[in-house]
Structure formats: structure tokens, C-alpha cells
Amino acid sequence: MAEKKYKEINIRNKKASFEYEFIERMEAGIQLVGTEIKSIRLGQASIKEGYCGFKKGELFIYNMDISPYEQASFSNHDPKRVRKLLLNKQELDKLKKKKKDVGLTIIPLKLYISKNGYAKLSIALAKGKKLYDKRESLKEKDHQRQMDRKLK
């Protein structure tokens, strides 16, 4: 049996659920170049400051940071490069129509490697939470934590 060379990759945007209310979720492939997939497999990527936007009818992710691969020589990639997201035409049209509403944005939630070995990005159409919504989320978390402690 083949031995797993890399650990399971599951890079999350933890702050997204606190900052945004998710309306719809989707899975998208990422168009990568050179050594980017090797860096992702080593877990050297961050989507915390990333966001998605349309350019000439295609969806791109901005500010996603993939660290340069250490063993690569001169052919390394740019860490903050704009990367194209791979979705079919129906999904792109659906997102475009919904994004025209004021206050909606597309944010990355999770970066992972699929069973086939491809890098996938879970994205969501989201609406920013107001300050009182954030306070309510903190109260719910605190209440849940207290209930879990009492059950133990």
C-alpha cells in the first residue's frame, strides 16, 4: 500500500463565520501554477484575508497567500498572486446575479485537497453581520460552552 506523504489539509477561515452570515455555499477548483500545490499540501497557505471578485466574467480569488515552496529554485511562484476559480457557467451566472444585491460578497471558507488530489476551495455568498449580530453570536457561543461544561 502507498504511504501517505502529506498530512490531511484543511485550511479554514475561522473568522468568516463571526464576520459574515452565509447565504449560499459552493465548491470551486483553483487554477494553480508551478509549486503552489506542493506548498498547499504542506499546509503553507492562508485564506484569512482572501476575497473573491469577478473580472471579465470569471471569478478570481484575491489576497490568498500561498507561501513559496522551500525546495524550489528560481521557478517559485508569487505568494499573493490572483488565482482563477474554476466553476461552470451556470454557477458563475448564479453568483453574478446574486452578488448584484447590495452588501453581498463572496468569501473563501475552506481550502482542502480532494480525494482525487486536486486543490478545492469552499466559497460562500455572504452578507456582513452588524455589531449586534456579532454580540448575539458571542452570547450563543458562551451559552453553549456553559451547557457543555454542565453536562460533563
Q: What share of the chain is helix, strand, coil (3-state, %, to 5)?
A: 30, 35, 40
Residue 5 has pLDDT above 60, yes or no: no
Kindly report the pTM of this predicted structure.
0.78
pLDDT band at 146 (very low <50, low <70, confident <90, very high): very high
Digit-coded pLDDT (tens) for 29-55: 999 888 888 888 888 888 888 889 999
Taking the C-alpha atoms of residue 142 and residue 116, their distance in angstroms, rounded to an integer, is: 39
Q: For the chain, which domains are there? A: 10-151 (2.40.280.10)
pLDDT band at 1 (very low <50, low <70, confident <90, very high): very low
Mean pLDDT of 126-139: 84
